[in-house]
Amino acid sequence: MSNTTKALGSFIFWSRWLQLPMYLGLIVALGIYSYKFMLKLWDLTINLGILKEDDILLNVLSLIDVVMIANLLVMVIIGGYEIFVSRLDVQDHRDQPEWLAHVDAGVLKVKLGMALITISSIHLLRSFIDAGNISEHTLKWEVIIHMVLVVSAGFIAATDWMINKSKKSH
């Protein structure tokens, strides 16, 4: 192999580090969501006496939505960095997430798909509870988008299952 080919290969392999600023940016976004969660929780707490039960439920669903998006960010940050940039040296850390021990690109895609479906479900539930204030057209499109996410995640999971089954048989 020529020196040029080796240098080019090394440069291409190094290019994975260009993702690092993106993962750091997602950590900043996670901080923003944490701040947003605290603001929503504070608002719910100070207005508890004047809110109706449905309003409390909508606010709690908003909090759950923020938490689910934060979970999605953590999966992308940790899983994506581990798969595409560099190994994390956390094998002996007592707080290592269970899923990190067996994460690969296929597993991460399935987990992300499930997280998106969960977030979509929470949005849809909020819309159903507040259906009197949302147009039928909007509700219809929310259901359609949710179903597209469900079907897409199903195809991703089935594809990952077939790939793993094929690997095991070889």
- How do residues 68-113 score in pLDDT, each as one tens digit? 899 889 988 988 898 889 888 777 777 776 766 667 777 788 888 8
Q: CB of 85 within 8 A of CB of 19?
A: yes
Torsion over CA of 128, 134, 136 and 141, rounded to 10 degrees? -80
Residue 130, pLDDT score? 85
At 143-154, the pLDDT tens digits run 999 999 999 989
How many degrees, rounded to 5, is the angle at CA 8 between CA 7 and CA 10?
65
Average pLDDT, the chain: 88
Phi, psi of 51 (to 5 degrees): -85, 145
> How close are the terminal C-alpha atoms of the chain, in Å?
31
Q: What percent of the chain has pLDDT over 90?
A: 49
Q: What is the pLDDT of residue 99?
A: 66
Mean pLDDT, range 38-66, rounded to an integer: 93
User: Does 54 have pLDDT greater than 70?
Assistant: yes
Percent of residues, the chain, with pLDDT higher than 70: 96
The mean pLDDT of 32-56, rounded to a whole number, is 94
- Residue 37, pLDDT > 80, answer yes
Query: Are the CB atoms for 81 and 21 separated by under 8 Å?
Result: no
pLDDT at 170: 73
- Residue 16 contacts residue 84 (beta carbons within 8 Å): yes
3-state secondary structure of 2: coil
DSSP, collapsed to helix, strand or coil, labels residue 83 as: helix
Distance of CA 105 to the CA centre of its chain: 14
Contact predicate 142/127, CB 8 Å: yes
Q: Rounded CA gap, 16 and 9, in Å? A: 12
Q: What is the pLDDT of residues 20-34, one digit of tens each?
A: 999 999 999 999 999
Whether 157 and 113 have beta carbons less than 8 Å apart is answered as: yes
b/e for 101-131, b at 16 or more Cβ within 10 A? eebeeebbbbbbbbbbbbbbebbbebbeeee
